[in-house]
């Protein structure tokens, strides 16, 4: 009873009074994604890669707390994703449609994200006879004519607005730019004059023109640039936009691939004061690559001491490196909200898709058909429950009250837990789950019947009700536990080996089986112990269901009394 009150109180405290419904009962959004081959992989669309992509997409949307999402392949190059109502469709669309092709590329040069005028500043290093060194491409119009050590401060501020990556060597993050930018300048190989250089003089003219023509000012333009960059071979340099459009870059070949990231998680850094961060762990080989690239970048001047973390053609972070970073781990920080940190960690954790996808169709799914099926299912469940009640009343009479009270407690606990699991783990009630709850009525009633029959067997042996209740419980308990264990094992195996809606049936069946054990042990048995002290049941009233005559009980067990002989025998 205490648990039931606590669960009901939890429902009111959380503000959730009804279970979260699945797409077949509440409607939702359906996406159809069309697969496309990745660059350099013309035959990547095959059954294995399609199944792998579907599995990754399912884990991604489940990472959003959507346990009722349906992800299944359709034909040879399509995947259908159904998201129930109540889920952020835009967020889900980004999760399932993002290929998450991650790469760590060295920064060759960077400038503001807007399109450069026709007289592009990138070739300015060719006129490097003066002191200007305009390699900043308009970033530092005021500081470009200053001493060589100063211009580096300008890109430092612009490059740390969001997604700055740090590791154990860069714990202070964006709040400590001097110590980061000061390390490369301490290298003896870097003379003062080349340190503020953007590296544009080392970039081919074709890439300089692409950088000048690149415009990152709008979402559409960034999307087009990201798609083009994502389709560039990892071994080729590329021009790319910052994800917020503030910067554009020329990047070198990929130094560390996304497959080298072993795990990623979103964590709130309360001690370091960096807010929400994304922690990444590399594989053994990835950690070595990461240490190698950071060691090389640390010896260069800014911005060539930066590496860009490129996700699907967009730069999500561009950290500066002051020294070689070992240990096989890194942290991305700076400007993240909880949502953006979790989204990035979710995509990185669940891996890169083996194929590129585009959303071919997006439709809204109504719950009309599911509502009709639910109504029919509830009617069938009500009929079944009514038949169970009639049987209990006709056969067990007064004991039927115990069974009905136990069924009521089980129903309340099931409803409350399903309601709370919605916001907690994203559990959604679908038609198979409702079916599992209806099947559980029979499992729960079966446990009561086992106990009642054990009690009646003891009464048939000639015992009174109170000892019959206590003696019948150990034998009934073993039978109930074995029966429920078999049911739970079946539900567990079904949950593991199945996908989609069948998981809802298995989950509900397993949950109600566990609740059956809880109800029988902590409600039905104590209730029977209390009722055994009541005269109505203890006296074996004909309507109690425990009438000894009706059960064919044997006469009460009595001790034989020995009487002393009336006559004393003589010796």
Least confident of 20-29, 461-470, 559-568: 559-568
The closest of 346, 327, 328 to 336, measured between CA atoms, is 346
Segment 53-65, tens digit of pLDDT: 787 777 667 655 5
The closest of 469, 471, 479 to 524, measured between CA atoms, is 469
pLDDT at residue 474 in the model: 92
Q: How confident is the model at residue 482 (pLDDT cuts 50, 70, 90)?
A: very high
pLDDT at residue 70 in the model: 75
pLDDT at residue 190 in the model: 33
Boundaries of domain holding 529: 371-551
What would the two tokens of residue 319 be? 């950290």
Q: What is the CATH number of the domain that holds 490?
A: 1.20.1640.10
Q: CB–CB of 245/90 below 8 Å?
A: no
Q: What is the CATH number of the domain that holds 69?
A: 3.30.70.3400
Q: CB–CB of 200/374 below 8 Å?
A: no
Comparison of pLDDT for 6 and 507, the residue scoring more: 507
User: What average pLDDT does the segment 181-203 reach?
Assistant: 39
Q: Which residues pair with 308 in a beta bridge?
A: 105
pLDDT at residue 155 in the model: 34
pLDDT at residue 137 in the model: 40
Q: Are residues 145 and 19 in the same domain?
A: no
pLDDT at residue 42 in the model: 65
Instruction: Please determine, for residue 210, whether its predicted confidence score (pLDDT) is greater than 80.
Output: yes
Give the DSSP H or E segment for 530.
helix 525-531
Q: Are residues 313 and 380 in the same domain?
A: no
The closest of 192, 85, 140 to 422, measured between CA atoms, is 85
Phi, psi of 304 (to 5 degrees): -75, 0
Instruction: Please determine, for residue 481, whether its predicted confidence score (pLDDT) is greater than 60.
Output: yes
Q: Are residues 338 and 241 in the same domain?
A: yes
Q: Where are the beta strands (DSSP E) in 160-231?
A: 164-166
Q: Are residues 80 and 203 in the same domain?
A: no
Residue 559 included in any domain = no
- Total Cβ atoms within 10 A of residue 32: 15
In our burial notation (b when 16+ CB lie closer than 10 A, e otherwise), range 348-365 reads: bbbbbbbbbbeeeeeeeb
Residue 312 included in any domain = yes
User: What average pLDDT does the segment 96-124 reach?
Assistant: 70
Q: How confident is the model at residue 495 (pLDDT cuts 50, 70, 90)?
A: confident
Boundary of a domain, candidates 336, 364, 392: 364
Phi, psi of 125 (to 5 degrees): -60, -20
Instruction: Please determine, for residue 370, whether its predicted confidence score (pLDDT) is greater than 90.
Output: no
pLDDT at residue 570 in the model: 52
Instruction: Please determine, for residue 33, whether its predicted confidence score (pLDDT) is greater than 80.
Output: yes
Q: Are residues 175 and 302 in the same domain?
A: yes
User: What average pLDDT does the segment 393-404 reach?
Assistant: 89
Comparison of pLDDT for 409 and 362, the residue scoring more: 409
Q: Are residues 263 and 382 in the same domain?
A: no
Q: Are residues 75 and 157 in the same domain?
A: no
Give me the torsion for CA of 375, 378, 383, 387, rounded to 10°: 180
Q: How confident is the model at residue 517 (pLDDT cuts 50, 70, 90)?
A: very high
Residue 97 DSSP SS3 = helix
Q: Are residues 189 and 285 in the same domain?
A: yes
Comparison of pLDDT for 507 and 163, the residue scoring more: 507
Q: Are residues 89 and 106 in the same domain?
A: no
Instruction: Please determine, for residue 269, whether its predicted confidence score (pLDDT) is greater than 80.
Output: yes
Q: How confident is the model at residue 40 (pLDDT cuts 50, 70, 90)?
A: low
Q: Are residues 48 and 109 in the same domain?
A: no
Domain count, the chain: 3
169 DSSP 8-state letter: G
Instruction: Please determine, for residue 275, whether its predicted confidence score (pLDDT) is greater than 50.
Output: yes
User: What is the overall mean pLDDT for the chain?
Assistant: 74
User: What average pLDDT does the segment 366-391 reach?
Assistant: 78
pLDDT at residue 286 in the model: 84
User: What average pLDDT does the segment 282-303 reach?
Assistant: 85
Q: Are residues 128 and 72 in the same domain?
A: no
Q: Map 286-332 to HEC letters.
A: HHHHHHHHHHHHHCCCCCCCEEEEEECCEEEECCECCCCCCCCEEEE
pLDDT at residue 521 in the model: 92
């Amino acid at each position: 009873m205490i648990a039931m009150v606590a669960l009901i109180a939890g429902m009111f405290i959380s503000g959730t009074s009804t279970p979260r419904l699945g797409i077949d009962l509440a409607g939702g959004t359906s996406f159809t994604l069309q697969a496309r081959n990745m660059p350099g992989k013309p035959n990547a669309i095959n059954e294995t890669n399609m199944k792998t992509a579907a599995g990754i997409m399912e884990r991604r949307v489940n990472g959003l707390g959507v346990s009722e999402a349906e992800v299944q392949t359709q034909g040879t190059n399509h995947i259908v994703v159904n998201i129930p109502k109540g889920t952020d469709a835009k967020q889900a669309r980004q999760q399932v449609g993002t290929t998450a092709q991650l790469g760590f590329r060295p920064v060759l040069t960077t400038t503001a994200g807007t399109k450069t005028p026709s007289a592009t500043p990138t070739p300015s290093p060719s006129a490097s006879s003066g002191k200007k060194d305009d390699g900043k491409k308009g970033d530092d119009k005021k500081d470009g004519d200053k001493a060589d050590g100063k211009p580096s401060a300008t890109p430092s501020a612009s490059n740390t607005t969001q997604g700055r990556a740090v590791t154990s060597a860069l714990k202070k993050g964006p709040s400590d730019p001097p110590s980061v930018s000061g390390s490369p300048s301490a290298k003896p190989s870097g003379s003062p004059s080349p340190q503020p250089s953007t590296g544009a003089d080392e970039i081919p003219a074709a890439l300089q023109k692409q950088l000048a023509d690149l415009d990152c000012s709008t979402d559409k333009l960034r999307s087009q640039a990201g798609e083009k960059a994502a389709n560039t071979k990892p071994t080729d340099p590329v021009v790319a936009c910052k994800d917020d459009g503030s910067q554009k870059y020329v990047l070198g070949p990929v130094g560390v691939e996304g497959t080298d990231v072993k795990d990623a998680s979103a964590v709130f850094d309360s001690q370091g004061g960096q807010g929400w961060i994304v922690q990444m762990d590399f594989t053994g080989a990835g950690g070595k690559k990461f240490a190698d690239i950071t060691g090389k970048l640390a010896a260069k001047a800014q911005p060539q001491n930066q590496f860009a973390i490129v996700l699907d053609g967009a730069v999500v972070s561009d950290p500066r490196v002051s020294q070689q970073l070992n240990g096989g781990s890194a942290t991305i920080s700076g400007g993240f909200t909880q949502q953006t940190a979790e989204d990035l960690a979710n995509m990185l954790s669940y891996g890169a898709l083996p194929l590129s996808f585009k959303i071919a169709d997006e439709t809204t799914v109504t719950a009309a058909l599911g509502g009709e099926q639910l109504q029919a299912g509830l009617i069938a469940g009500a009929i079944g429950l009514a038949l169970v009640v009639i049987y209990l009343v006709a056969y067990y009479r007064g004991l039927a009250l115990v069974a009905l009270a136990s069924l009521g407690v089980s129903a309340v606990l099931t409803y409350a837990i399903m309601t709370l699991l919605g916001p907690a783990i994203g559990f959604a009630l679908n038609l198979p789950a409702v079916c599992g709850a209806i099947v559980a009525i029979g499992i729960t009633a079966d446990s009561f019947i086992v106990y009642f029959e054990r009690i009646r067997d003891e009464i048939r042996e000639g015992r009174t009700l109170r000892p019959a209740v206590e003696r019948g419980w150990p034998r009934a308990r073993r039978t109930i536990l074995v029966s429920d264990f078999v049911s739970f094992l079946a539900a567990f195996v079904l949950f593991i080996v199945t996908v989609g809606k069948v998981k809802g049936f298995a989950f509900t069946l397993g949950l109600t089986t566990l609740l059956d054990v809880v109800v029988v042990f902590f409600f039905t048995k104590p209730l029977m112990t209390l009722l055994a002290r009541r005269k109505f049941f203890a006296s074996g009233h004909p309507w109690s269901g425990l009438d000894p005559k009706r059960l064919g009980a044997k006469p009460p067990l009595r001790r034989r009394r020995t009487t002393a002989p009336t006559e004393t025998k003589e010796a």
